[in-house]
Chain A
Amino acid sequence: MTHERTDFIAGMEPSAPDAPVRVDAMSEAPSAVRDVTPLGRPSVELQSVSAAYGQRLALDDVSLAVRPGSLLAVIGPNGAGKSTLLKLVAGLIKPVSGRISVLGDRPLGHAHEVAYLPQAEAVDWDFPVTVSEVVTMGRYGRLGLGRQPGPGDREIAARALATVGMADAEGVQIGALSGGQRRRVFLARALAAEPLIYLLDEPVTGVDARTQEDLMDVLEAEARAGKTVIASTHDLICAAQRFHEAAFLNRRLVAHGPANLVLDRQLLADTYGGHVLVLPDDGGRLILDDAHHHDDAPRGERHYHDDRR
C-alpha cells in the first residue's frame, strides 16, 4: 500500500488564517434537542481567550461557542492547546485574557453540572480504588462537603456502569483493567455526575474499535438528550464519522464547523502543518493525525509548533 504524505504543505509556511473559518450550518442537526440553556444560548462560550503556561502561549485569541446538544470534536496536533481548552472550560486553569462562560456563568460556577475526564496518563492506576468507588466519585460534586453517598447515589453509579458495559467489574481494582475498560469506567464516572456538560480529554485514545464505538454511542445519546459534549481526539476518522462538529485548533482556532470538515485537506494542512498522513484507500481516503510524527521526523520537514517556540 502506498501512502501519500501531505508533504506538499510541509515545505510551505503553514498559514493559519487570521479569522477562523466558520461554518455555521450544521450538516445534520441532532433531532429532539432538549435545550437546557435559555433561548438556545451557547452552553459554553469563549471570547478571545488566550492561555499560557509561563512564557509559552498555549492558546491564542480563541473564540468559540458551543450549543446544548453539540457533539464537538476538538482536533489538532500535539501542543495545539486541546487539553488547555478543556481545562479552561472546566475552570482548572485561568486564561490570561478573554472571557469564558459556562452555562451563563464563570467556569466552576456550576461545577456539579460539568464532568471532566482527565487524560489517561494523568491518573495513578496503582491507586487502591475499585471500579465502583471510582464511578461513585462522579456523585461527590453534587453531594457537598462531608456528606457520604447514599443508596440513591450507588444506584446511579451502578446504572452508569451498566451503560458502559462494565457492570460485572464493580469490585475490581482499576489498575487491573485494560486501557479500554479504564476509559469505560471513567466515562461511567462522568455519566454518574449527571452533568449538562461533558469535557473529555481524549476519551477514545488508545482503545479498541469496539470500545470506541460503544463510548461514542453513549456520548451521542447524551448529546441527543441536550447535553453538551466536547472531546479532544487524535482520531480524525472518529471525529469525521461520529462527531457532529469539529473545532480545528493550533493555538489559534483554525476552523469550527460540521464534523465532515475534517475531510477538508486544506483545513487539515492549516491545522496540522506537515503532521497528517493521507492514505489512499479503497472506498476513499484514510486520514491519520500523525501524533508521534515529530519524534522521528525526516530531514527537511517543517514542524509547525516548532516555529512558534
Chain B
Amino acid sequence: MTTLVALLTDPLAYGFMQRGLAAALIVGVVCAVIGVFVVLKGLAFIGDAVSHAAFPGLVVAYLLSAPLYIGGAVAAVATALLIGFVSRRGRLRFDTSVGVLFAGTFAFGVLLFSTIRNYVTDLLGYLLGNVLGISVADLVQVAVLGAIVLVIVLVLRKELLFATFDPLGAAASGLPVAALEYLLLALLGVTIVVSIQAVGIIMVVAMLVTPAATAQLLVVRFGRMIAVSIGIAAISAVIGLYVSFYLNLASGASIVLIETALFGAALSLGPKTGLFSRPALARRAAT
C-alpha cells in the first residue's frame, strides 16, 4: 500500500512533474469542454486545421523574438475566424476550403522554419508537445487563458447549446447565432494554442475530440456530456502523465493514447454501441 502511495507521490517531488500535471489537467479540461461543441458541430477537421495554422504564427513570433504564445494565438484565432467566414460566404465545399487553408498555412510555417539556421528545440517541441517541459510563466498563461475560455462557455452555455442544436430556431428567436459561431471558433483557436505546448500541434485534435466523443457514447444529456468529457480528460491526463514518467515515454502521446483507449472501451462496452448494449431500452420511454 505504501508503495502504491509512493508510486503516486514520489514523482510530485519534482517541480517539472507538478507543473506538468497542473498543465495537463487544465489543458485536458478546457479541451474537453470546447471539444463537446467540436464534436456536436462536426468541427474536428477545423480544429486540426487551426492547430496547424498556429505553426507559422509560432515561427514568426520566434523570428521576431516576440512571445511565442501571442504569435500562435493570433494565427490560430485568425484562421478560425477566416474559416468561419469562408463557411458562411464561400461557394466551394466547406471541407475543400478548409483543406486548402490548412495545408497552405502549415506549409508557410515549415518554409519559415527552414530559414532558421540554428537548431531550435523550442519550435520542434511545439510540433509534438512536451508538457513536462512547461515553465512557470507558461503555466500561468495556460491557466489564465483556460479560465477565460471556461468562464465564457459557462456564462453563454444556454445560447451555445441552442445555437449548436438548432441554429435556425435559435436565430429566429433572436439569439445572435452568427456571433456565437464566431465566438466559438475564437474560443477554439485559444484552446488550441493553450494546448499546443502540452500535446503538440499534431495531437491537439485528439484532445478536443476524443473525450467528448467518448462522453457522447455514454450519456444523453448535454450537461452530463460535458461533465463526463471533463472526467475522461482529467483521468487520462493523470494516468498518461504517470505512465510517461515511469516508462519514460512522450507525455502528450501517452495522454492521447489513454484517451483513445477509454474511447475504445466506451465504444465496445458502452450503453449505446457496446457489445452488451440494448438500445431498444431507450425507445420504450414515452407514449
Contact = CB atoms under 8 A, between A and B. Distances in A.
Interface string A78-116: 000000000100111000000000000000100110111
Contact of A145 (B159, B220, B283, B285): B159
B219 interface: yes
A176 to B, nearest CB: 4
Given A128-B220, A128-B222, A137-B166, A92 B171 contact: yes
A231 to B, nearest CB: 14
Contacts of A199: 172
B6 interface: no
A111 B172 contact: yes
B165, B172, B285: which has the most chain A beta carbons within 10 Å? B172
Nearest to B36: A128
B174 A141 contact: yes
Contacts of A130: 220-221
Contacts of B176: 145
B173 A193 contact: yes
A166 B286 contact: yes
Interface stretch (A18-26, A32-40, A60-68, A119-127): A119-127
A133 B221 contact: yes
A91 B175 CA distance: 12
Contacts of A143: 158
A118 B169 contact: yes
A137 B161 CA distance: 9
Interface stretch (A167-175, A218-226, A246-254, A286-294): A167-175
Contacts of A133: 161, 221-222
Interface in A131-154: 131, 133-134, 137-138, 140-141, 143, 145-146, 148-149
* Size bracket of the A interface: 35 or more
Contacts, number: 105
A51 to B, nearest CB: 16
B120 interface: no
B155 interface: yes
B8 to A, nearest CB: 34
Contacts of A112: 173-174
A92 B169 CA distance: 9
A177 interface: yes
26 contacts: A90-B168, A92-B171, A108-B172, A114-B172, A115-B173, A123-B166, A127-B164, A128-B40, A128-B224, A129-B221, A130-B220, A133-B221, A137-B165, A137-B169, A140-B162, A140-B170, A140-B175, A145-B176, A146-B156, A149-B158, A172-B282, A173-B220, A176-B220, A177-B285, A177-B286, A181-B286
Given A133-B222, A172-B282, 17 more contacts: A90-B171, A90-B172, A91-B172, A111-B173, A112-B174, A118-B168, A128-B224, A129-B222, A134-B165, A137-B162, A145-B176, A146-B155, A148-B158, A166-B286, A168-B287, A177-B286, A193-B173
